[in-house]
Amino acid sequence: MLGLSTLLPRDPFNSVVLAVGVLSVFVLATFAIAFRPKGEASSFQAYLKFAYACFLKPHTGDKNGDQQDALESFYKAQADVYDATRTRLLRGREDMLGLVAAQLKHRCEAALISQRPVWVDVGGGTGHNVEQMGKFVSVPEFFRSVYVVDLSPSLCEMARKRFTRLGWKNVKVICQDARTFRLHEHEPQAHQRKAMISRGQIVRDLDENADAGGAELVTMSYALSMIPEFYPVIDSISSLLSSNGIVGVVDFYVQSRVEFNRRNYTGGAINRHCMWISRVFWRTWFEIDRVNLEAARRDYLEYRFGTVLSVNARNHFFGVRMPYYIWVGCSKDSGASTTKLAEIDAAATESPYLSALDLRTGPVPADVEVRSKAYESAIVNLQSSLPLPATWYQNHHWRIHYDESLPKHTRFNDSYIYAFTWEDDRADARLLKVTSDDVVLAITSAGDNILSFCLDAPRRVHAVDLNPSQNHLLELKVAAFTALPYPDVWKLFGDGKHPDFRDLLIKKLSPHMSSTAFQYWLKNGPGVFSNDSSKGLYYSGGSGNAIALCGWLFRLLGLTADVQKLCAAQTLNEQREIWNRSLKNLIHSKLLTWTIFSNEKWLWKALGVPPAQRAVIEADSKKNADFSPATAERSTTSGNAIYEYVLNTFEPVVTTTLLSTSNHYYLLTLLGHYTPSSHPTYLSPKSHSKLARPDAFKGLRIHTDEISEVIARMRPATLTIVVVMDSMDWFPPTGTQAGRQIRALNRALKLKGRVMLRSAGLEPWYLALFEECGFSCKRVAVRVPGACIDRVNMYASTWICTKEVDLEREDAGAGLRKGSLGELTIGAPAIR
């Protein structure tokens, strides 16, 4: 076979001639296709025509400096193939339409929009967006009017033909400069309402008063980057938009993190940064076609409006990655009144809400000055004429704003440790007996126990976690119960897989999520829930590593069938028989325990057990050895403490609880999913009916911070229950962090308020600190050999610490007594 080198000319001149010849043939073919009679073109012919118009055809519309002539010079030659050639190039358009449609439907259902919406598609071109919107809503029935505004006559002609073909009478194509388009000139109803309001007033623009009318939806699809004077266009959108309206934009962009790093109103920065070579290349490349990617366009959009949702993505087109963004916004002033801010902030800090009238009629209590970090950031933004952080513009105020760029958040590498909660919610309910008057604060973890608390409908539930991704997971669960029927919720969190996750996220869940959580799940969710290579939710995160390893180990040893039988056993006797016959020897293997369970990195990354908690286990083991000389030598062996702990954990679970019907914790670790007969409380059909109610999560607040930071910004003596799980084990005994947190808990709790904690130790060292800080400590459950403390049986003891003494009042009283004594001494006559 001849090699390629034998076919190519050896002379450099001949090589150049050959290359020019090939290029000439391509150019001539392109021109031939471009000037062929109009008709139905093949995909190949369409792309040749596209290449001619974009890269070969000279611009002829610059002589008089008219933007319309420039657009016609570019689009006239390719108008008939525009849609065919933009499907792959202009990604994100359908996603943007799905997001704004979901927002509009939610606002209509919530009575925020009381009439059929009006939609203005700026730079709408051939009307492609309007036809595609039909995938999400019925355009003729859902919208009162739709306006496709574009400056290119050729594209507008294609749009008119499209809507004549579709027979949509409510769609109007307007060939006009977007800067001068005014809705009142085309909407008689809007004109009449605006004329009434503007009567007797000095009004520069009839469309500037959104309260008198306006469009409920304004969109721009790959148009903003092509408009030379973009500032007045963005300003005109503000005047077009109604007070509860939505703006949707999708476009190319490039930007460096240096430009947006200190902004708290962009709705999250996942994947927003572009490398310098990407910035230089794409700016230069797009300028050939007069598409401008300077950051000012997107920046001004985010400055002029409030951000509801923001997405940064890459279009994989012919082997390259073109950056584009999707942005959904609303009026900058939506919900920005200080009255509204104070009302929302009061729920986060448990401070009393005072209206403006209350402030005028009496003195303000001192504790009203307690403010959340989110409120403080909002006030700073308002004073600087900036939009509020994106969380303030959400449809729900579950998620509290946080600074995602702080190292304490970024150190988790955008990953959660726990995909499921390893705490027995049934035991929690029995011990705490939550009522409607309770104010609960609990660690988020995977959110399972938070949902269990919401089932009891307390006055407020504060979910706290330093890891943003754990709170993203809780948000996903809350949004699912708010928007999805039970079968979909079960697929997501029972099976851990859903083939249509991305569609559900965009069409159903997006109106009920914060921008940062939505970005997170748009990026990571398909790989977790719906990719063919994914095993599902419970194989993700740090805890997923443990489940994956167990499955690999069972397959390696040929025990998979026995695991299936163990999980399907219908009686304890059957379960014990399978356990003793095959699995017990493996789980209780010292080799396995010492190589896996006693490994510090494995304990932390897979099971979430930090070194400090491991030290608690080892200390208890040593203490027991001191009382038992027979085990003293064995206890000092490396890893033996962990071995004994594992032995005392698993054996009682298998012999006393039935996995197939009553112990979903271990069923999940063995199967990787729940079953209809064994699952958490929140996944039952009855629970779904409760959590799907409109007010089910009204009292939920999700804080992304340390517990101490959250309770320090709460009004004193307002919490009634605090659940810290096993987090107190994480504090080092030599530090002061535990003492500071316990004092802060005393301040935040009401008298007789309770702290429930679990520990890997029988009598953890920090109980003495609780007692010093005014708490009485009672052990309400303890693990003994051969018995389960609860269905998890992972912890050695459970404690409830009740606040008996108010430290702040006691300290204040001590200060008052000291002050009185000082006054008495100073005022007393001298004794001779």
pLDDT tens for residues 632-689?
444 444 457 777 777 788 889 999 999 999 999 999 999 999 999 999 999 999 999 9
- The per-residue pLDDT for 211 is 43
- pLDDT (tens digit per residue) in 581-606: 888 877 766 666 555 555 555 554 44
Residue 408: pLDDT over 70: yes
Q: Are residues 185 and 317 in the same domain?
A: yes
How far is it, in rounded angstroms, from Cα 762 to Cα 778? Answer: 12
> Does a structural domain hold residue 691?
no
Q: Are residues 316 and 374 in the same domain?
A: no
Q: Are residues 271 and 310 in the same domain?
A: yes
- pLDDT (tens digit per residue) in 193-243: 555 554 555 444 444 444 445 899 999 999 999 888 899 999 999 889 998
Q: Which residue in this structure is represented by tokens 């988790």?
A: 412
Long-range contacts of 72-77 (CB under 8 A, 24+ apart): 72/152, 72/153, 72/154, 74/289, 74/290, 75/152, 75/154, 75/155, 76/152, 76/154, 77/34, 77/49, 77/52, 77/53
Residue 179: pLDDT over 80: yes
Residue 624: pLDDT over 70: no
Task: Give the best-scoring range by mean pLDDT among 312-326, 339-353, 671-685.
Answer: 671-685
Cα–Cα separations (whole angstroms), residue 546 to 394, 446, 551: 36, 16, 9
- The per-residue pLDDT for 816 is 45
Q: Are residues 618 and 750 in the same domain?
A: no
- pLDDT (tens digit per residue) in 306-318: 999 999 999 887 6
- The per-residue pLDDT for 189 is 60
Q: Are residues 369 and 301 in the same domain?
A: no
Decide which of 11 and 817 is more confident: 11
Residues 6+ apart with CB under 8 A from 128: 83, 86, 93, 162, 221
- β-strand pairing of 241-252 with 320-331: antiparallel
- pLDDT (tens digit per residue) in 125-138: 889 999 999 999 99
- pLDDT (tens digit per residue) in 34-50: 444 444 445 555 555 55
Residue 461: pLDDT over 90: yes
- The per-residue pLDDT for 432 is 96
Write down the mean pLDDT value for the chain.
Answer: 82
- The per-residue pLDDT for 814 is 58
Can you give the pTM of this predicted structure?
A: 0.85
Helix residue spans in 325-423 (DSSP H): 338-349, 356-361, 373-383, 407-410
**Overall number of domains in the chain:** 4
Residue 438: pLDDT over 90: yes
Residue 149: pLDDT over 80: yes
Rounded average pLDDT over 743-751: 95
3-class SS letters over 125-155: CCCHHHHHHHHCCCHHHHCCEEEEEECCHHH
How far is it, in rounded angstroms, from Cα 93 to Cα 128? Answer: 10
- The per-residue pLDDT for 676 is 96
Task: Give the best-scoring range by mean pLDDT among 212-221, 305-314, 525-534, 734-743.
Answer: 305-314
> Does a structural domain hold residue 514?
no
- The per-residue pLDDT for 606 is 47
Looking at 671, 690, 722, the residue that finishes a domain is 671
> Does a structural domain hold residue 318?
yes
Residues 6+ apart with CB under 8 A from 56: 27, 30, 31
- The per-residue pLDDT for 24 is 54
- The per-residue pLDDT for 91 is 86
- The per-residue pLDDT for 133 is 96
Least confident of 492-496, 497-501, 587-591, 697-701: 587-591
Q: Are residues 495 and 605 in the same domain?
A: no
In single-letter form, the type of residue at position 417 comes to: I
> Does a structural domain hold residue 43?
no
Q: Are residues 664 and 603 in the same domain?
A: yes
- The per-residue pLDDT for 574 is 95
Local confidence band at 10 (pLDDT 50, 70, 90 cut-offs): low
- The per-residue pLDDT for 556 is 86
Rounded average pLDDT over 375-384: 89
Q: Are residues 350 and 291 in the same domain?
A: no
Cα 825-831-832 angle, rounded to 5 deg: 155
Q: Are residues 327 and 344 in the same domain?
A: no
Long-range contacts of 195-202 (CB under 8 A, 24+ apart): none
> Does a structural domain hold residue 245?
yes
Rounded average pLDDT over 4-14: 49
Q: Are residues 560 and 485 in the same domain?
A: no
User: Which residue range forms the structural domain that includes residue 463?
Assistant: 415-509+698-809
How far is it, in rounded angstroms, from Cα 434 to Cα 456? Answer: 6
DSSP H helix total and E strand total for the chain: 40, 14
Percent of the chain exceeding pLDDT 70 equals 76
Q: Which residue in this structure is represented by tokens 């001949």?
A: 14
Rounded average pLDDT over 537-546: 90
- pLDDT (tens digit per residue) in 262-295: 899 999 999 999 999 999 999 998 887 778 999 9
Of 100, 102, 155, 153, nearest to 124 by C-alpha is 155
Q: Are residues 262 and 303 in the same domain?
A: yes
Task: Give the best-scoring range by mean pLDDT among 386-395, 603-612, 731-740.
Answer: 386-395
What percent helix, strand, coil does the chain show, rounded to 5? 55, 15, 35
> Does a structural domain hold residue 785?
yes
- The per-residue pLDDT for 620 is 74
Q: Are residues 239 and 372 in the same domain?
A: no
> Does a structural domain hold residue 684?
no
Of 741, 775, 779, nearest to 762 by C-alpha is 779
- The per-residue pLDDT for 649 is 84
> Does a structural domain hold residue 515?
no
- The per-residue pLDDT for 592 is 62
459: domain CATH number is 3.40.50.150
Burial classification of residue 488, based on how many CB atoms lie within 10 Å of its CB (0-12 exposed, 13-18 middle, 19 or more buried)? middle
Neighbours of 56 (CB within 10 A): 12
Decide which of 824 and 74 is more confident: 74
